[in-house]
């Protein structure tokens, strides 16, 4: 049995804000990114990859703001192996308490031949130049040979050795396309440890994508063979099928410390609140049976299991729900609850509200408590999420709407929106239902063409007086924009979600009138 003192510490590198944010429909605005970064710090991750500063002014601003204002985790920015990217990354990171520049360059034959059209020698030279430029700015530099899992071992060893020689302090081995198997990933790490003479001068990291559903297993295999850092995301967000799920890999290391002999600094009781926060912000729902954070992850339905649980919990439970942040009950507040109780619950749920934000949420909480007797966690999350969204500059806001619909008659909608000082109203009787009519009225007022690609409604909490939570995706000029709205009236929630998407479009273009 391994004691805590003998456990090998594993660095948890979270890339929810970079690789996670790259997944379709998951882009976040500045306020949302700051909220996620704070939650990741509270969770105790060692490194936060906050973005890819050269990718867009928005990415740069987010990395710079997180680096300047947040303390407690190392803040990392991604860069390709070229001067402009690396200079821009440092410009964003320079005020961080602890900064890391992460440079990457593809190394596999397929990327060399078809994407980069570069020889092996050119790749080694470019990697070395990139690492050296980054080292000129900061002593914490990570190098990733992109598509490492499909790179010939001889060449991978050569590039990794050269990157370490140039000053890389972490070498990250990405399975960029999620192709590796656990045995292969483990072997690659073992080969690097055996054949790269200066490997002990850097931490070996692993970055696995989940295309075959093997990202967690591959990351654990890498750890078994000596990797000291895992790159992962909350809820496994990320390109295509996503990345290694942080909550799964951390709980596997903790629950099976007897097998892995490793530990992390993650405050596991923050896993569920962080997962919920990110799901609310990105609109990416967590499947009910998702390991660790899914709603059913600890639900025992079969009578035989329930019987066993009553006799001895460990008959059917390998982790305690409270260790990952599930609370026993989520019925918390009512009409007579005060501001302190709301602030405390918000904190438990993973939000840090300023005094001003708390006051606004509290006022809305009181209004909601007049409409429905019992306020659940889901209601509080919905109110806070709305507040965070409203806090950003919103070009368009809802003044009022009225709808009528029924069987056998045309829906009618009257919608009034505010745009700057002006109020614009559209009244129409078109469409195949009130939702369609709301879309048409919004298009007419804003002058934007919105093609609805996804529309989902679910209740934020229990009961038929529950708030309806609408998440939708609209396509505008080939790009996908997400919207979310919550109200006790589902049509109003839809209008709010449409406006949320419209405001995201407006913040990236100057097109709406």
Interaction with ligand KIV in 1-30: which residues (CB under 6 A)?
A: 19
Nearer to Zn ion, 204 or 413 (CB): 204
Q: Indicate which of Zn ion, ligand KIV, none lies near residue 104 (CB less than 5 to 8 Å, by partner kind).
A: ligand KIV
Q: Where are the beta strands (DSSP E) in 189-283?
A: 203-208, 229-232, 262-263
Spatial contact of 247 and 216, defined as CB atoms under 8 Å apart: no
**Pairing outcome for strands 409-419 and 422-428:** antiparallel
DSSP 33-85: HHHHHHHHHHHT-SEEEEE-TTS-HHHHHHHHHHHHH--SSEEEEEEESSHHH
Q: Which stretch binds ligand KIV (CB under 6 A): 5-13, 125-133, 172-180, 313-321?
A: 172-180
Rounded distance, CA 174 to CA 164, Å? 16
Spatial contact of 196 and 226, defined as CB atoms under 8 Å apart: no
Cβ contacts of residue 329 below 8 Å, gap of 6+?
none
**Residue 146 interacts with Zn ion (CB under 5 A): yes or no:** no
Size of the site for ligand KIV (CB under 6 A): 9
Among 112, 150, 207, 476, binds ligand KIV (CB under 6 A): 207
Nearer to ligand KIV, 15 or 275 (CB): 15
Helix (H, G, I), strand (E, B) or coil at 337: coil
Structure tokens at 52: 């890819």
CB of 208 to ligand KIV, least distance (A): 9
Rounded distance, CA 309 to CA 304, Å? 9
Q: Which stretch binds ligand KIV (CB under 6 A): 109-117, 168-176, 405-413, 414-422?
A: 168-176
Nearer to ligand KIV, 176 or 279 (CB): 176
Number of neighbours of residue 8 by Cβ within 10 angstroms? 13
CB of 174 to Zn ion, least distance (A): 6
CB of 301 to ligand KIV, least distance (A): 38
| Torsion sign, CA atoms 155, 106, 95, 67 | negative
CB of 182 to ligand KIV, least distance (A): 18
The contact pattern for Zn ion, residues 274-293, with x = CB under 5 A and - = no contact, is --------------------
CB of 191 to ligand KIV, least distance (A): 19
User: Three-state SS across 404-433?
Assistant: EEECCEEEEEEEEEEECCEEEEEEECCCCC
Nearer to Zn ion, 221 or 349 (CB): 221
Q: Indicate which of Zn ion, ligand KIV, none lies near residue 22 (CB less than 5 to 8 Å, by partner kind).
A: none
Structure tokens at 112: 């060399």
Interaction with ligand KIV in 331-360: which residues (CB under 6 A)?
A: none
**Residue 158 interacts with Zn ion (CB under 5 A): yes or no:** no
| Position with the least CB separation from Zn ion | 19
CB of 293 to ligand KIV, least distance (A): 23
CB of 355 to ligand KIV, least distance (A): 39
Rounded distance, CA 47 to CA 229, Å? 10
CB of 507 to ligand KIV, least distance (A): 26
Which single residue is written with the structure tokens 């923050």?
Answer: 270
Interaction with ligand KIV in 72-111: which residues (CB under 6 A)?
A: 104
Interaction with Zn ion in 381-420: which residues (CB under 5 A)?
A: none
Nearer to ligand KIV, 18 or 484 (CB): 18
Which single residue is written with the structure tokens 């990217």?
Answer: 85
CB of 454 to ligand KIV, least distance (A): 25
CB of 15 to ligand KIV, least distance (A): 7
Rounded distance, CA 235 to CA 281, Å? 12
Rounded distance, CA 419 to CA 445, Å? 10
Nearer to Zn ion, 227 or 333 (CB): 227
Q: Where are the beta strands (DSSP E) in 192-338?
A: 203-208, 229-232, 262-263, 331-334
Which single residue is written with the structure tokens 């990139």?
Answer: 130
Helix (H) or strand (E) holding 497: helix 490-508
Interaction with Zn ion in 5-34: which residues (CB under 5 A)?
A: 19
CB of 172 to ligand KIV, least distance (A): 6
**Residue 146 interacts with ligand KIV (CB under 6 A): yes or no:** yes
Nearer to ligand KIV, 209 or 270 (CB): 209
For 269, what's the count of Cα atoms within 13 Å in the CB-facing half-sphere?
6
Rounded distance, CA 170 to CA 204, Å? 6
Rounded distance, CA 132 to CA 126, Å? 10
Q: Indicate which of ligand KIV, Zn ion, none lies near residue 146 (CB less than 5 to 8 Å, by partner kind).
A: ligand KIV
Q: Provide the phi-psi class of 461: left if phi over 0, else alpha when psi is between -120 and 50, else beta.
A: beta
Among 144, 188, 235, 490, binds ligand KIV (CB under 6 A): 144
Cβ contacts of residue 432 below 8 Å, gap of 6+?
411
Among 53, 174, 186, 411, binds ligand KIV (CB under 6 A): 174
Among 23, 108, 176, 229, binds ligand KIV (CB under 6 A): 176
Nearer to ligand KIV, 8 or 240 (CB): 240
Q: Which stretch binds ligand KIV (CB under 6 A): 171-179, 288-296, 323-331, 503-511?
A: 171-179
CB of 190 to ligand KIV, least distance (A): 21
Task: List interacting residues with Zn ion (CB under 5 A).
Answer: 19
Task: List interacting residues with ligand KIV (CB under 6 A).
Answer: 19, 104, 144, 146, 172, 174, 176, 207, 209
């Amino acid at each position: 049995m391994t004691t805590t003192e003998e456990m090998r510490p594993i660095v948890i590198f979270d890339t929810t804000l970079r690789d996670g944010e790259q997944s379709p429909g998951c882009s976040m605005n500045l306020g949302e990114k700051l909220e996620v970064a704070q939650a990741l710090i509270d969770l105790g991750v060692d490194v936060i990859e906050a973005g890819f500063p050269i990718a867009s002014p928005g990415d740069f601003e987010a990395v710079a703001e997180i680096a300047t204002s947040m303390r407690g985790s190392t803040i990392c920015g991604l860069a390709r192996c070229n001067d402009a990217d690396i200079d821009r990354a440092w410009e964003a990171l320079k005020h961080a308490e602890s900064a890391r520049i992460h440079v990457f360059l593809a190394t596999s034959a397929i990327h060399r031949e078809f994407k980069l059209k570069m020889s092996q020698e050119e790749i080694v030279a470019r990697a070395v130049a990139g690492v050296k430029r980054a080292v000129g700015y900061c002593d914490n530099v990570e190098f990733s040979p992109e598509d490492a899992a499909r790179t010939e071992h001889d060449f991978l060893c050569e590039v990794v050795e050269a990157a370490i020689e140039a000053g890389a302090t972490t070498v990250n081995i990405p399975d960029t396309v999620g192709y590796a198997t656990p045995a292969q990933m483990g072997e690659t790490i073992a080969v690097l440890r055996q054949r790269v003479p200066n490997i002990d001068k850097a931490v070996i990291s692993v970055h696995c994508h989940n295309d075959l559903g093997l990202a967690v297993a591959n990351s654990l295999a890498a750890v078994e063979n000596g990797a000291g850092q895992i790159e992962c995301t909350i809820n496994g967000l990320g390109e295509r099928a996503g990345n290694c799920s942080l909550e799964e890999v951390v709980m596997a290391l903790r629950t099976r410390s007897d097998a892995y002999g490793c530990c992390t600094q993650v405050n596991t009781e923050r896993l569920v609140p962080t997962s919920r926060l990110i799901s609310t912000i990105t609109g990416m729902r967590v499947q009910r049976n998702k390991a660790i954070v899914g709603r059913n992850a600890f639900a025992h339905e079969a009578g035989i299991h329930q019987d066993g649980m009553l006799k001895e919990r460990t008959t059917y439970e390998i982790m305690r729900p409270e260790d990952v942040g599930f609370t026993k009950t989520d019925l918390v507040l009512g009409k007579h609850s005060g501001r302190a109780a709301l602030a405390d619950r918000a904190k438990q749920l993973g939000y840090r509200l300023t005094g001003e934000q708390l006051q606004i949420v509290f006022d809305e909480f009181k209004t909601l408590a007049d409409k429905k007797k019992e306020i659940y966690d889901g209601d509080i999350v919905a109110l806070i999420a709305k507040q965070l969204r409203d806090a950003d500059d919103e070009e368009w806001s809802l003044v009022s709407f009225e709808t009528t619909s029924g069987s056998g008659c045309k829906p009618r909608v009257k919608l009034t929106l505010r745009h700057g000082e002006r109020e614009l109203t559209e009244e129409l009787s078109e469409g195949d239902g009130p939702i369609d009519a709301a879309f048409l009225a919004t298009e007419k007022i804003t002058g934007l063409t919105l093609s609805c690609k996804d529309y989902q409604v679910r209740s934020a909490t229990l009961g038929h007086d529950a708030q309806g939570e609408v998440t939708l995706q609209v396509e505008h000029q080939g790009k996908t924009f997400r919207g979310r709205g919550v109200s006790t009236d589902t049509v109003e929630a839809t209008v709010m979600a449409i406006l949320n998407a419209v405001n995201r479009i407006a913040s990236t273009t100057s097109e709406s009138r």
